[in-house]
Structure 1
């Protein structure tokens, strides 16, 4: 059976048989918008929807990844909650320069942002709409920042982690509030034409939170997000950074998502624990940045042989990653039978 790129990815997310795994790079935290691509555009690729859509198309064309994904950063949601953002340039990624709140109560005191009107959210929605109008057979992946990572982009992370212990109910209330916004933003992205929503929560690691806090503060929010996304008919991908091995039992409670892991996680062992849950990953991004194409091909081959459902970079890609290495990865997957 011949699959379009969209049909193949949607089939995998629905746990159906395909000819081979898709090879994707979702966008958001896991974006392939490298300097080699961005330098061909004006510096408004984070704020102009037309340019953003063109960059997404250029990424697919110049790397071979089988999707279109926007945005190319993790600062969109924090900005609408008052955090100051430096959008950077072709050689520097956007970053938070000032937190939007000094206490938890200040986050909830703000009116809940409107994804259709506030900050750069409308830019993302317009870019998705642009892409959807031009690409029927290519999956469009929208991206949102996970609740913990969003919270620690609005308020000082060290203070936030302290409050997890001192004021857990207040923390849960804030996370629930932020998740309500993220649900709205995700739903708006699907309405604009996104086929899949990728949720990246790099701060919600086992190393930082520990297993008990992960179960208490993270699982309910991610479960709600995935459930709400599923109700729209779109697919969901959840990426957890770091060594998520100790979190696998908890991650089983998130029903309806494909789980994406960092390179430190043994995906074969993860699959054993997770059973029928599709697994995505986890090509080492340092190797993609500085390694030889032959090593990348070998890494991809090992993942394919293990039956990993979706092949993708293990985490965020360096802006300096050579296109030849990304092409080596995508060609290796496309040529596998």
Structure 2
């Protein structure tokens, strides 16, 4: 197997890596994706909450509807638990059965012609005159690092590395329902989530509840999920004493794109490239878009129709979200949020972040007598 030759080897079978591989394979190129996990649905680090644009990506266009649940509203809570309900006509978020979605994506790209090697870790790669040799895999004209925020490709090959993180914990509760299941519940609270927020949403299989906070190098503080669940229980209806059926946790990049992102026919994509919103830490849509864009650029480069500069046109500046990230890190206080949550300027900022200026304040549902 070590003598296999490919047009591209992609390290990492996440959203970005599989989106890139799909573009390459559907244009007739020979591509191999390797991932250290034998089961793509195990040891997940992503929430699996999709913005509507992500569902329109080619990789997810055919996803079975049973793996998705539409969530048409956002309910945003101040620290004192007062809230506003936001929405936009025709716009939806989607929660997923995330492990099943990852397995489905792996099977789907295989039908597109991708060779997917599960249980194959990336150890190292060396440059030859005409290709990259990846230990235990083979040779490739280009190498793509899509192996997450702690990218081994970036570390081994001297590319830029993510240095700013959030630390998040998410619980899954199977077979239970929220009091308001058609909303993505987001909680701003410096005590429980300094530098970020807590969230709760109905999924196809139950409820997911998460909490993330700013991570500092050498820090040992982890999110207080027990305290958070007890704090929000009156709003959500989820028992604070119920034990989760599964737990996932990990670092979430929030510093923006890394530099350098590429050299000598190797390029980073997705979380490995820091292609995650510095403010919201949303990386699925960005990863899908970046992976597909780099895939199309590689198709042109490998066919001789473009030069080697693969990544520059696909890198957003994130200027506005970087500024808000700084404010969240240095000027987050609960009292002003309690006062300003329902104010029009605050709502406009939230609407822009959630619905790309299409949103608005939505009346609370009328409770039955």
- Same fold judged by TM-score > 0.5? no
Query: Considering only CA atoms, is the larger Rg found in Structure 1 or Structure 2?
Result: 2
TM-score range, shorter chain: under 0.3
Query: What TM-score do the two structures reach when normalised by structure 2?
Result: 0.25
Query: What TM-score do the two structures reach when normalised by structure 1?
Result: 0.27
Decide which structure has greater helix share.
1
Structure with more contact order per residue of length (Cα contacts < 8 Å, sep ≥ 6): 2
